[in-house]
């Protein structure tokens, strides 16, 4: 840590470059997480359903995009082209660089690779660099990076599948409480009540909305997501997070509808909560103080 602090003091541009490159590498892994966790959950649910219904549980599960495999997790099978099954070589998986060299196409069958993959790598790299520049190359910076990477994964999984996996939200909630037990970001009492208030606030809104309309306005994953944000930042940041998420949801949702998104296809709230939470995590106090100064005049 002392060596990294020396780099930060003497060579800030070098630290920025290292943070960006490291973030790009993590972004490549997040692409795997975002793609595979929903498939892993679906297979787990299918296996559980078969067990409950006492059906024959075949360990091999057919999947249109992945083919047939006995072992499927974040490590196996190796990354490959979903069309021709070409095994992606290490030099074909260098963040941003490989995509540019290959012209955005599979090295074997020339099928177009979605621009989303390098976009996630670039986003993760940039946000990682911003985190390190704000918190420094220390334990708080590392934990803030983990927090950021998890929010990226949750946002895109929720956008794609409208689920916020407990496999990510619950460990992240506990990690926030553990960090703040040592007062890394806020006092533990703030974090403790932040987790409780975060969950109960959206749970209450959900119950009232369901009572009035007979419909479910959001999923239980949103409750857990706001709870983990409260665990990382404390209960004081929850009003700001709710306001920011509502504003970003209205603006971005309206823009997507204007661009042709089907109005009958609901937009998940998780990505907006995650975006608002990340903004509040870095600049929440400055935003709150600026607002208070404006209202005093």
Each residue of 268-289: pLDDT tens digit?
A: 899 999 999 999 999 999 998 8
Specify the number of domains making up the chain: 2
Residues 64 and 122 in one domain: yes
Q: Helix or strand or coil: residue 81?
A: coil
Angle at 130 between CA 127 and CA 133, to 5 degrees: 150
Q: Based on the domain organization, do 89 and 202 belong to the same domain? A: no
Q: How far, in Å, CA of 128 to CA of 171, rounded?
A: 20
Residue 182 backbone phi and psi in degrees, to 5: -95, 15
Asked if 70 contacts 43 with a C-beta cutoff of 8 angstroms, the reply is: no
| Residue 63 β-bridge partners | 67
Domain boundary among 118, 137, 156: 137
pLDDT tens-digit map of 10-51: 667 888 999 999 999 999 999 999 999 999 999 988 888 888
CA separation, residue 280 to residues 44, 208, 296 (Å):
35, 27, 22
- The domain of 188 spans 138-297
Assess whether 115 and 156 both reside in one domain. Answer: no
127 and 235 share a domain?
no
Same domain for 231 and 265, yes or no, is yes
| pLDDT 10s digits, 62-96 | 444 444 446 888 888 888 888 888 888 888 888 99
Between 12-52 and 139-161, two packed helices, what is the crossing angle to 10 degrees? 50
pLDDT of 164 above 90: yes
Task: Express each pLDDT in 56-65 by its tens digit.
Answer: 655 444 444 4
């Amino acid at each position: 840590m002392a060596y990294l602090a020396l780099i930060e003091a003497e060579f800030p541009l070098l630290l920025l470059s290292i943070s960006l490159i490291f973030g790009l590498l993590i972004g490549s892994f997040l692409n795997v997480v975002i793609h595979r966790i929903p498939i892993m959950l679906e297979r787990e649910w299918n296996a559980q359903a078969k067990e409950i219904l006492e059906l024959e549980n075949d360990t091999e599960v057919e999947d249109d995009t992945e083919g047939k495999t006995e072992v499927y997790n974040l490590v196996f099978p190796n990354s490959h082209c979903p069309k021709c099954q070409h095994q992606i070589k290490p030099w074909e998986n260098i963040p941003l660089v490989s995509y540019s060299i290959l012209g955005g196409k599979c090295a074997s069958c020339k099928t177009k690779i979605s621009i989303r993959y390098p976009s996630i790598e670039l986003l993760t790299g940039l946000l990682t660099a911003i985190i390190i520049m704000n918190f420094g190359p220390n334990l708080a910076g590392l934990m803030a990076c983990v927090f950021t990477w998890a929010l990226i994964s949750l946002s895109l999984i929720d956008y794609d599948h409208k689920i916020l996996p407990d496999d990510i939200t619950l460990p992240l909630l506990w990690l926030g409480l553990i960090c703040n037990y040592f007062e890394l970001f806020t006092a533990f009492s703030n974090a403790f009540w932040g987790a409780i208030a975060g969950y109960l606030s959206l749970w209450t809104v959900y119950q009232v909305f369901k009572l009035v309309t007979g419909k479910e306005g959001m999923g239980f994953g949103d409750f857990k997501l706001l709870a983990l944000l409260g665990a990382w930042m404390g209960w004081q940041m929850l009003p700001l997070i709710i306001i920011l998420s509502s504003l970003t949801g209205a603006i971005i949702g309206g823009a997507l509808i204007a661009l042709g998104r089907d109005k009958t296809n609901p937009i998940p709230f998780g990505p907006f909560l995650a975006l608002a939470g990340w903004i509040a995590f870095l600049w929440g106090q400055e935003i709150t103080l600026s607002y208070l100064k404006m209202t005093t005049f």
